[in-house]
């Protein structure tokens, strides 16, 4: 068993993941399109998890909501456009390493995960320990004592999702200089947006609100 971060997969994400794997398995011509749809649903899920849902939990002000709405819009559009640009001409044979990545991350519903499907990736014991410490602190309504730790683990979590869920597939594909540069800018922008939202939202929360906030994320850390 190892520590993993497991993102609950909604029906749209499950269906699009199965569609992509099915298209590859049957060597269909629309595999690239299916993959692009899958990544779009995954992006929506992650944006919802890290930007939309925390804003609702934290009861943010109008000004903060504008910052979050802008971040959501920017991250979503950038991801969708870049995914299409990078993968639209990829052949089924070239998708082989991508399929391996997807198969490893896609944790189908079963006895080992409470019959709920996830997109999961391994994390270090150090991160798991820090994350659990932050969650426990907030659960005890003492989150304000170490908001820096809470902010750090949430920032690290977002970085790891970008690094370990979204980027591995792009590294298997040959792309031109312009596309690579656009990808770097898009990734950097998304990372900064999530960190900015994190920092803005977390520093203003009461102990009770921090308990609610981190309670929302505590279940992401699982054993697989």
The residue that leads in pLDDT, 48 or 102, is: 102
- At 172 the three-state DSSP class reads coil
Phi first, then psi, for residue 121 (nearest 5°) are -145, 150
**Neighbouring residues of 132: CB distance < 8 A, sequence distance ≥ 6:** 221
Q: What is the mean pLDDT of residues 152-179?
A: 93
Write the DSSP string, 106-170: EE-SSGGGTT--EEEEE--HHHHHHHHHHHHHHHTT-GGGGHHHHHHHHHHHHHHHIIIIIHHHH
Question: Rounded mean pLDDT of the chain?
Answer: 92
> In angstroms, rounded to a whole number, what is the distance separating the alpha carbons of residues 196 and 67?
9
What is the predicted pLDDT for the residue at 85? 92
Residue at token pair 């006895």: 111
pLDDT in tens, 56-113: 776 677 777 787 787 788 778 878 889 999 999 999 999 999 999 999 999 999 999 9
Q: Which residues of 161-171 are buried (b: 16+ CB within 10 A; e: fewer)?
A: bbeebbebbbe
What is the predicted pLDDT for the residue at 20? 98
> In angstroms, rounded to a whole number, what is the distance separating the alpha carbons of residues 64 and 81?
26
User: Against a cut of 0.75, is the pTM above it?
Assistant: yes
What is the predicted pLDDT for the residue at 87? 96
Query: Does the structure show a pLDDT above 80 at 184?
Result: yes
The DSSP code for 37 is H
Task: Tell me, rounded to whole angstroms, the distance of Cα 6 from its chain centroid.
Answer: 9
Q: How many other CB atoms sit within 10 Å of the CB of residue 211?
A: 19
* Of 90-104, 137-151, 178-192, minimum mean pLDDT range: 178-192
The domain limits of the chain are 3-223
pLDDT in tens, 195-224: 888 888 888 889 999 999 999 899 999 999
What is the predicted pLDDT for the residue at 151? 95
- At 224 the three-state DSSP class reads coil
């Amino acid at each position: 068993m190892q520590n993993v971060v497991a993102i609950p997969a909604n029906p749209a994400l499950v269906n699009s993941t199965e569609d992509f794997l099915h298209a590859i398995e049957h060597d269909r011509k629309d595999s690239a399109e299916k993959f692009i749809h899958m990544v779009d649903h995954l992006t929506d899920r992650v944006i919802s998890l890290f930007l939309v849902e925390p804003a609702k939990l934290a009861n943010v002000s109008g000004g903060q909501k504008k910052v979050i709405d802008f971040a959501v819009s920017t991250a979503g559009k950038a991801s969708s456009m870049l995914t299409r640009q990078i993968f639209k001409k990829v052949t089924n044979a070239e998708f082989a390493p991508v399929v391996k990545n997807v198969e490893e991350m896609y944790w189908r519903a079963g006895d080992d995960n409470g019959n709920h499907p996830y997109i999961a990736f391994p994390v270090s014991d150090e991160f798991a320990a820090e994350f659990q410490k932050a969650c426990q602190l907030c659960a005890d309504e003492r989150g304000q004592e170490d908001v820096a730790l809470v902010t750090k683990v949430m920032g690290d979590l977002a970085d790891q999702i970008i690094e370990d869920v979204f980027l591995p597939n792009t590294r298997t594909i040959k792309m031109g200089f312009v596309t690579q540069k656009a990808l770097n800018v898009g990734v950097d922008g998304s990372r900064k947006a999530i960190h900015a939202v994190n920092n803005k939202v977390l520093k203003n929360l009461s102990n009770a609100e921090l308990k609610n906030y981190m309670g929302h994320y505590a279940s992401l850390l699982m054993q697989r």
